[in-house]
């Protein structure tokens, strides 16, 4: 793995990590507002309402973004910019068309979903508009990652989180809404992000032109073959996550859903502080043809992800529960669960890096089989866990499912790569490349913190 690649990964990770910390600080204030104004049961209703986008997300071709990014990145790496443009445009028009269908079905058929899920028709109609915005936010993010614009990608997340905080402040404290206020904040924060960053992404889209005639890419490219497997993979995973919430509701009630959501949210905040997978996602497809470099990227990625999770996990275990327990005493039941779930960071470090490798190598069918197994494990172990161990049984499910998932994905990847070992005797060793990484991270952070510093646009 040569020095430019190492620097790109290191600087991209440093920039993303810096802004992720900012996002999480903003997010903590949002969490404070939500948890201080909503009961655990009301917070459970919010999570259940938003889970409808996962249960009905097949309309949005979930997972197609990773396939599109891999294909567009490969075309860009070969210098075929017009082909890259055609792939991206075709995927956007397809997702927008399906988004309109999904919105209409949910918005006008809200009463049907009320009978099925026992939620408010008003809340369901608010959530329906997310189907219209999802294709736009996904495409904007894909363009930023494609051009390795990690600063803009991070800015997109900061803007969305800041807008949501402002909306929560107004809707919860002044308009005195509860569940609907949170749902409106989620919806309009995404809309504002599209309006602000849409023009910038259009300029990046216009750069995908090399003078050649733009080929026509049929929608069938995304509906069959690898596109079908990619969509089914993500949708299957989303169903598993949503099914977990509904199992909790059926066995333990809506308050337990809210407590689990808090624990899962803290886990999400912890893992998001290490954005290395989002940096590797656009890079790996460009080196899929070079086995040695590709394997080196994956190995180093797992090493850094594991070390970062180890440090962050220890810090979260010590500091998060007492701090949040003092601020939100009515959610104190979530923090022992969170501490147990932190064990899942060990297999999670492997999963986080191996997952984008599957997309880069176009192993969508193998990935679907992995996700199918994960979803089945989630449903079975979650039901057993909450039935016999209550809320804490979800930690058992999380760790066991993650471990089985990590083992299965590593075995599949090794088989495709000809038996190459991803874990060698020098795992966690310190070498010259690590020195380059440390120097690049330091340089990237200085460029962010120093006024007038340039941005990384490799």
Dist CA 277 CA 355 (whole Å): 8
Lowest mean pLDDT across 10-14, 78-82, 164-168: 10-14
Binned at pLDDT 50, 70 and 90, residue 449 comes out as: very low
Domain edges within the chain: 3-449
Average the pLDDT over 213-220 and give the result: 74
Q: What is the pLDDT of residue 147?
A: 76
Average the pLDDT over 356-374 and give the result: 83
Dist CA 194 CA 199 (whole Å): 9
Mean pLDDT of the chain: 81
Q: What is the pLDDT of residue 136?
A: 92
pLDDT above 90 as % of the chain = 26
Contact partners, residue 360, CB within 8 Å, separation at least 6: 70, 281, 284, 285, 287, 288, 294
Contact partners, residue 274, CB within 8 Å, separation at least 6: 17, 305, 308, 309, 312, 352
Q: What is the pLDDT of residue 456?
A: 38
CA angle in degrees (0–180, nearest 5) for 140-206-131:
25
Q: What is the pLDDT of residue 182?
A: 94
Tokens 């070079």 sit at which residue?
Answer: 290
pLDDT score of 424 more than 70: no
Q: What is the pLDDT of residue 445?
A: 45
Q: Which residue pairs from 175-180 have beta carbons closer than 8 angstroms and sit at least 24 positions apart in sequence?
A: 178/37, 178/38, 178/42, 179/38, 179/42, 179/45, 179/46, 179/49, 179/120, 179/123, 180/122, 180/123, 180/126
Strand positions, DSSP E, 94-201: none
Structure tokens at 17: 């990590």
Q: What is the pLDDT of residue 448?
A: 45
What would the pLDDT profile of 387-413 be if each residue is shown by its tens digit? 999 989 999 999 999 999 999 888 888
Structure tokens at 272: 């998001």
**CA 226 to mean position of chain CA atoms:** 20
- What letter would DSSP give residue 51? T
pLDDT above 70 as % of the chain = 83
- CB atoms under 10 Å from CB of 361, counted, come to 18
Lowest mean pLDDT across 206-210, 298-302, 319-323, 348-352: 206-210
372 or 72, which is more confident? Answer: 372
Q: What is the pLDDT of residue 269?
A: 79
pLDDT score of 457 more than 50: no
Q: What is the pLDDT of residue 446?
A: 52
Dist CA 301 CA 87 (whole Å): 28
Binned at pLDDT 50, 70 and 90, residue 451 comes out as: very low
What would the pLDDT profile of 87-134 be if each residue is shown by its tens digit? 888 888 888 998 999 999 999 988 888 887 788 899 999 999 999 998
Q: What is the pLDDT of residue 128?
A: 93
Binned at pLDDT 50, 70 and 90, residue 344 comes out as: very high
What would the pLDDT profile of 273-293 be if each residue is shown by its tens digit? 776 776 676 677 777 777 777
Cα separation values, 399 from 133, 217, 269, 343, 354, Å: 33, 41, 17, 6, 17
Highest mean pLDDT among 96-100, 233-237, 282-286, 420-424: 96-100
Classify residue 186 by burial, with Cβ atoms within 10 Å: 0-12, 13-18, 19+.
Answer: buried
């Amino acid at each position: 793995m040569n020095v430019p690649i190492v620097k790109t990964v290191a600087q991209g990770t440093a920039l993303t990590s810096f802004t992720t910390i900012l996002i999480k600080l903003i997010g903590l204030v949002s969490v404070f507002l939500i948890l201080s104004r909503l009961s655990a049961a009301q917070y459970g209703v919010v999570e259940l309402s938003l889970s409808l986008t996962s249960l009905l997300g097949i309309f949005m071709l979930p997972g197609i973004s990773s396939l599109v990014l891999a294909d567009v990145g490969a075309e860009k790496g070969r210098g075929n910019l017009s082909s890259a443009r055609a792939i991206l445009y075709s995927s956007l028009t397809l997702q927008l068309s399906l988004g309109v269908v999904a919105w209409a079905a949910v918005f006008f058929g809200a009463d049907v979903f009320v009978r099925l899920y026992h939620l408010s028709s008003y809340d369901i109609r608010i959530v329906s508009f997310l189907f219209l915005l999802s294709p736009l936010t996904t495409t904007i993010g894909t363009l930023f990652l494609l051009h390795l614009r990690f600063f803009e990608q991070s800015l997109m997340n900061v803007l969305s989180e800041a807008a949501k905080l402002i909306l929560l402040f107004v809707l919860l404290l002044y308009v005195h809404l509860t569940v609907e206020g949170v749902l409106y904040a989620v919806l309009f924060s995404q809309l504002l992000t599209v309006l602000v960053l849409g023009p910038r992404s259009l300029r990046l889209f216009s750069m995908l032109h090399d003078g050649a005639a733009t080929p026509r890419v049929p929608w069938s490219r995304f509906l069959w073959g690898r596109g079908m497997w990619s969509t089914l993979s993500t949708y299957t995973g989303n169903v598993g996550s949503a099914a977990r919430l509904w199992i909790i509701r059926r066995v333990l009630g809506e308050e337990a859903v809210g407590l689990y959501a808090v624990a899962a949210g803290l886990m999400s905040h912890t893992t998001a502080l290490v954005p290395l997978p989002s940096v590797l996602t656009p890079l790996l497809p460009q080196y899929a043809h070079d086995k040695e470099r590709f394997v080196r990227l994956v190995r180093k990625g797992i090493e850094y992800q594991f070390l970062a999770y180890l440090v962050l996990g220890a810090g979260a275990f010590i500091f998060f529960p007492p701090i949040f327990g003092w601020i939100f005493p009515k959610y104190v039941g979530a923090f022992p669960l969170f501490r147990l779930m932190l064990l899942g960071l060990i297999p999670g470090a492997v999963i986080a890096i191996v997952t984008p490798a599957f997309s880069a190598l176009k192993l969508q069918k193998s990935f679907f089989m992995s996700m199918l197994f994960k979803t089945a494990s989630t449903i079975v172990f979650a039901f057993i866990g909450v039935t016999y161990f209550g809320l804490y049984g979800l930690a058992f499910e999380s760790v066991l499912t993650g471990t089985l998932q990590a083992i299965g994905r590593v075995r599949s990847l090794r088989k495709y790569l000809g038996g190459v070992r991803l874990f060698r005797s020098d795992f966690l060793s310190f070498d010259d490349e690590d020195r380059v990484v440390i120097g690049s991270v330091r340089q990237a952070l200085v460029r962010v913190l120093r006024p007038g510093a340039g941005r990384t646009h490799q």
